[in-house]
């Protein structure tokens, strides 16, 4: 079984389409998404439509914020969420939008299979907790989170890809030359972000899971097109476009 795991698309259609084209070349059986389909980017509806075809999608905090009341977001993120909600509610009884809203409302917070856990944020707090590379220096936090993990946890949310091992180390995809073999110890895998990478590499990031082997893939996409679209929407802060160029 070969599976692609994507996360944090954030309504970036150009990035998502480039990643889907790359996935097509990889002989993948299934696609899983770890949440944040929407928020920040200019094409929420189109991105939801594509993700609805995936085999599994987990609820992200921005997906939840767009459907319910957003809490704990920066003002720029919150404005983007309200704009996203408007797109989802345009026309009110529009059937396609009702289908999209129902899809978002029914997303699950976690998924477990074969000792593997799939969440948006962390095993301890699936929707909201960030696990950043520098958290390895917060031994208590990392130990607690590993306490909730049977063997492997796949997560997103920080937009920073890499591997956390239960001896308190973090490896970036570069450290690993893009490939990691799951061992006996517990592991957290951050699959990175399709639509808003923040590890100073502007290319889209996702993961292929082939049995016990993980491949981090980077994909270029026409980010100038996305940036132009963000600039054209007054409710989307220009910074949301600018950051795509630097991957931060």
Which residue number places its CB atom closest to Fe ion? Answer: 36
Q: How far is CA 153 from the centre of its chain?
A: 14
Q: Give the residue with the Cβ less far from Fe ion, 36 or 199.
A: 36
Element (H, E) at 90: none
CB 215 within 8 A of CB 178: yes
Q: Which residues of 201-229 are buried (b: 16+ CB within 10 A; e: fewer)?
A: bbbbbbbbbeeeebbbbbbebebeebbeb
Q: Give the residue with the Cβ less far from Fe ion, 78 or 94.
A: 78
Per-residue mark of binding to Fe ion, 133-152 (x: CB under 5 A): --------------------
Q: How far is CA 61 from CA 136, 144, 170, in A?
A: 23, 21, 24
How many CB atoms lie under 10 A from the CB of residue 106? 9
Q: Give the residue with the Cβ less far from Fe ion, 13 or 186.
A: 13
Return the bridge partners of 4, or none: 31, 208
Q: Give the residue with the Cβ less far from Fe ion, 51 or 166.
A: 51
Q: Which position among 36, 129, 166, 199 is part of the footprint of Fe ion (CB under 5 A)?
A: 36
Among the listed ranges 35-43, 181-189, 211-219, 240-248, the one in contact with Fe ion (CB under 5 A) is 35-43
Compute the distance between CA of residue 53 and CA of residue 133 in angstroms, rounded to an integer. 32
Instruction: Give least dist CB 12 to Fe ion, A.
Output: 11
Instruction: Give least dist CB 60 to Fe ion, A.
Output: 6
Instruction: Give least dist CB 25 to Fe ion, A.
Output: 26
Strand order in the sheet with 2-6: 56-57, 30-33, 2-6, 204-210, 213-219, 179-181
Instruction: Give least dist CB 181 to Fe ion, A.
Output: 27
Residue with structure tokens 């609820």?
Answer: 59
Among the listed ranges 8-16, 90-98, 164-172, 202-210, the one in contact with Fe ion (CB under 5 A) is 8-16
Among the listed ranges 33-41, 88-96, 137-145, 218-226, the one in contact with Fe ion (CB under 5 A) is 33-41
Q: Which position among 8, 22, 135, 166 is part of the footprint of Fe ion (CB under 5 A)?
A: 8
Instruction: Give least dist CB 159 to Fe ion, A.
Output: 6
Helix axes 44-51, 75-89, angle to 10 degrees: 70
Instruction: Give least dist CB 70 to Fe ion, A.
Output: 13
Q: Which residues bind Fe ion (CB under 5 A)?
A: 8, 36
């Amino acid at each position: 079984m070969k599976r692609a795991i994507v996360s944090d698309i954030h309504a970036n259609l150009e990035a998502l389409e480039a990643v889907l084209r790359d996935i097509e070349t990889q002989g993948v059986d299934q696609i899983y998404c770890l949440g944040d389909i929407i928020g920040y980017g200019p094409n929420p509806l189109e991105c939801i439509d594509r993700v609805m075809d995936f085999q599994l999608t987990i609820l992200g905090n921005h997906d939840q914020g767009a459907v319910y009341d957003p809490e704990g977001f920066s003002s720029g993120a919150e404005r983007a969420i309200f704009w996203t909600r408007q797109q989802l509610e345009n026309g009110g009884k529009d059937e396609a939008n009702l289908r999209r809203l129902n899809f978002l409302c029914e997303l699950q917070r976690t998924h477990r299979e074969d000792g593997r856990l799939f969440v948006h944020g962390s095993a301890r707090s699936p929707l909201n907790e960030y696990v950043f590379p520098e958290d390895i220096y917060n031994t208590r936090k990392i130990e607690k989170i590993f306490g909730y993990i049977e063997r492997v946890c796949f997560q997103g949310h920080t937009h920073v890809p890499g591997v956390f091992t239960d001896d308190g180390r973090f490896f970036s995809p570069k450290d690993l030359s893009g490939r990691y073999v799951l061992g006996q110890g517990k592991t957290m895998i951050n699959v990175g972000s399709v639509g808003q990478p923040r590890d100073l590499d502007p290319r889209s990031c996702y993961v292929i899971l082939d049995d016990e082997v993980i491949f981090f893939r980077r994909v270029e996409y026409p980010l100038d097109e996305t940036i132009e679209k963000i600039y054209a929407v007054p409710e989307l802060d220009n910074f949301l476009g600018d950051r795509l160029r630097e991957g931060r």
